[in-house]
Amino acid sequence: MSELLVKWEALRKQDAEIDAVFGFLKKGDEQDATYKHLEFGTAGMRGLLGPGSNRMNKYVVRRATRGFAKYLLEYGDKSRKMAVAIAYDNRHFSREFALDTARYLASFNIESYIFSSLRATPELSFSVREQHCVGGIMITASHNPREYNGYKVYDETGCQLVPDKIAKVIAYIDEIEDELTLSYQLTSEQETYVHLVDQELDQKYTDRVKAISYQKVASPGKLKVVFTPQHGTAYPLLATLLEEKGYDLYLVEEQCSPDPDFSHTESPNPEEHKAYTKAIELAKKVDADLILSTDPDADRMGVVVKHHHDYVFVTGNQGGSILQEYIYSALKEHHEMPEHPVMFNTVVTSDLGEVIARDYGVDCEKTLTGFKYIGNKIDGYDQTKSKQFVFGYEESYGYLLKPFVRDKDAFQACSILAEAAAYYQQSQKTLIDVLNDLYAKYGTYLETQVSLTLTGESGVSKIQAILNGFRANQPTKLGDIKVVASEDFLSGVHQGEERWTLDFPRENVLKYFLEDGSWVAIRPSGTEPKCKFYFCIKAESEAACTAKFNRINAEIQQRIA
């Protein structure tokens, strides 16, 4: 056992939670569990469960909570009550972390409003605003495997903290070298600072989601929908909402239980095709028109559509394009398009969404990856009123339609995607027909992603070496297509025929624009040990897009081998 783990081993007899997290420590990982503090980055904190400073456990969570508490006491909105909304998902120790967080906040005289059972991330964002809290905390590892958990923090608008705010939190976190020194004792008054909240907020949130509609559907019951929450937080609220909307709903019942081991799904990640195995089996059995899946904390939506006799997977980019076409066409038809509409997506999101938006007179503004940037943009225009938000999305299956939530919201997305499917069904169209119509009008796009998983200390170094390698040896061609411009978001420079400074926060992202209108972007994941390669390929047909992608990807893989 690592020398640094000895003091954690000593806690096992007196702390049942620490004894339990030792069960997640794999043989040979002792050094990795202790060689650094688990990073609290721009997306909060996410990591493997286990003992040690580089694992998710009660004391590491407490260290983060101390930093957030100190930040709120100094920088929190003094016009709001000093209270934090807290929610958690189905993962191992999520409830324990949430309850300890609430009690630790009380030791700083900060009240908390915590759900008594698991709730979705978008409802947490909503509850921050609804309860006029100064901040929020969500205990979740999103779509990561069962061995993970995480911790996200929100400001008073219900938006995840942006980098300049996170930097202040991190400064307070870094004051503590040894998280095992953090303990607390509550006074009798502080014991009253933890409040449980439940059904009233559920009703307010789902009422707001149900109120969103763009077109009237004569017979929603004709649309057969299979839904799976992947053992997570969307059940039962989202299932009930879809039923109340009138759709013919079928549940993947084995995946409705809040199982932290995800026992009945091959993956809780709706970006992975294997996550839909049971859903497709059920869809074929009942002849369903649409499959909807949410990740464990229900901020992401995955979609599979029956098209002719096949079940076709819809990517996050494609879902965003379909939703935009449906929403904008409805707003235009009913003369409800705002005077200065704006939608937000990211620098690694497909160009097709921007093309659709501009054709409808909707301005498009790009952000770095992370919905916090979109939420922050929404808040900015909420203050100035110079533009009106109509849609926001990321390629990673995250969508937002109405800004009473300031994070990705699978409840909103599932509700309106089903409405769109039912609406187009009236004209004997599937959502794939809608997508093909978009390709016929604007050109064919292939949007895909390749991830390289590199774990541990050596993995961090390898990912950095990959990015540095591209910077040191800039490609002039990719797949025999000329690179006409590049953007380095770390140095903040666009380099092409002209050179200019990028108006974005500094992050380790590279993007290469090709002569044919395609592009490739590279970035390390903010939440997983991965180097991600994003592709937006444009060509005259799907086959031509695939061939072009294969050439470009093969060259990139050769460069990093």
Active site positions, annotated: 142
CA gap 530, 455 in Å, rounded: 8
Beta carbons within 10 angstroms of residue 195's beta carbon:
13
User: Is the N-terminal amide bond of 51 cis, ω within 30° of 0?
Assistant: no
Output the six-digit token pair for 9.
Answer: 């081993």
Q: 309: which residues sit within 8 A by CB, 6+ positions away?
A: none
CA gap 51, 12 in Å, rounded: 10
Q: 172: which residues sit within 8 A by CB, 6+ positions away?
A: 66, 67, 68, 70, 71
DSSP 112-166: EEEESS---HHHHHHHHHHTT-SEEEEE--TTS-TTEEEEEEE-TTS-BPPHHHH
Output the six-digit token pair for 493.
Answer: 């420079």
Output the six-digit token pair for 276.
Answer: 């839909």
Helix (H, G, I), strand (E, B) or coil at 158: coil
Of all residues in the chain, what percent are helix, strand and coil, respectively (each to 5)? 40, 25, 35
Report CA torsion sign: 7, 12, 16, 19.
positive
Residue type present at position 503: D
Strands 388-394 and 341-346, by their bridges, are: parallel
Strands 194-197 and 388-394, by their bridges, are: unpaired
CA gap 145, 39 in Å, rounded: 19
The DSSP 8-state label assigned to residue 402 in this structure reads S
Strands 481-488 and 493-495, by their bridges, are: antiparallel
CA gap 317, 444 in Å, rounded: 13
Angle among Cα 397, 163, 45 to the nearest 5 degrees reads 65
